[in-house]
Amino acid sequence: RKEVEQDPGPFNVPEGATVAFNCTYSNSASQSFFWYRQDCRKEPKLLMSVYSSGNEDGRFTAQLNRASQYISLLIRDSKLSDSATYLCVVNNQAGTALIFGKGTTLSVSS
């Protein structure tokens, strides 16, 4: 089983839609969780950290369920500029690496 699993998509949504991505992780000892965004042929960039109590940054909401080892990202009022690949990231047990999922591709159309 992969350490971090995501639905690869693609998710094709119209502008203004709400879309949710899910991610599961296998290492119950993981302590740090993130969502990164990667545009085509670009490097990954941090979108937001994920905290136990859940957190929101504008149109983006991240949630963590430690019991189910599950992370989610909700994007409200999708914009064309949200089109990208969203990577779920979890640290390894030793804290020496960030482990990435394969990514979920989002395409927002007008």
Partner 1 sequence: GAGVSQSPRYKVAKRGQDVALRCDPISGHVSLFWYQQALGQGPEFLTYFQNEAQLDKSGLPSDRFFAERPEGSVSTLKIQRTQQEDSAVYLCASSQGQRNTEAFFGQGTRLTVV
Q: Which is nearer to partner 1, 16 or 95 (CB)?
A: 95
What sign results for the dihedral spanned by CA atoms 101, 6, 31, 94? negative
Residue of 37, 44, 61, 71 interacting with partner 1 (CB under 8 A): 44
What sign results for the dihedral spanned by CA atoms 101, 54, 62, 24? positive
Residue 105 Cβ vs partner 1, minimum distance, rounded to whole Å: 9
Contact status, residue 86 vs residue 107, Cβ threshold 8 Å:
no
Residue of 35, 103, 106, 108 interacting with partner 1 (CB under 8 A): 103
Residue 42 Cβ vs partner 1, minimum distance, rounded to whole Å: 7
Residue of 26, 31, 65, 109 interacting with partner 1 (CB under 8 A): 31
How many residues contact partner 1, by CB under 8 A? 23
Residue of 16, 20, 46, 79 interacting with partner 1 (CB under 8 A): 46
Calculate the alpha carbon distances from 1 to 14, 35, 47, 62 in Å.
33, 20, 26, 24
Provide the β-strand partners of residue 60: 57, 75
Residue 76 Cβ vs partner 1, minimum distance, rounded to whole Å: 24
